[in-house]
Amino acid sequence: MTVLYTTDHEWLRIEGDVATVGVTDYAQTQLGDVVFVDLPKVGRVVKKAEAAAVVESVKAASDVYAPISGEVIAVNDALGADPALVNSDPAGSAWFFKIRMADRSELNGLMDEAAYKAHTG
């Protein structure tokens, strides 16, 4: 399992040809208290860097971008019932969606944890 990060503060956990996507702890701190999450539909095909979900906080609404192209194969319905999970467990139970990757070469250019920490530092 590999974890990579985008400059837009999404994380992806790569397992085989599936990427699980969420927002980083840094992102949830910037957002403040999350009150609503709008997830993509299962079966939707997304392109890398396309807005795939929306997270709304008491401060603002922000897009969550697809870090890689592919088909959405699962969404985290728990976020609809409890959007505050994004604040309490952003790297764990608050994953947003899973994508079956179309092109692994799109992973090139994403950051590992050390590079992401330097990016946000």
What share of the chain in percent tops pLDDT 70?
100
Q: What whole-number distance in Å separates Cα of residue 25 and Cα of residue 31?
A: 10
User: How many domains would you assign to the chain?
Assistant: 1
pLDDT for 1 equals: 84
For residue range 38-82, list pLDDT tens digits in order.
Answer: 999 999 999 999 999 999 999 989 999 999 999 999 999 999 999
pLDDT for 26 equals: 96
Determine, yes or no, domain membership for 111: no
Question: What pTM, to 2 d.p., does this model score?
Answer: 0.95
What share of the chain in percent tops pLDDT 90?
97
Query: Judging by beta carbons within 10 Å of its beta carbon (0-12, 13-18, 19+), is residue 18 exposed, middle or buried?
Result: middle
pLDDT for 111 equals: 98
Residue 88 belongs to a domain with what CATH number? Answer: 2.40.50.100
Which range marks the domain in which residue 39 is found? 2-104
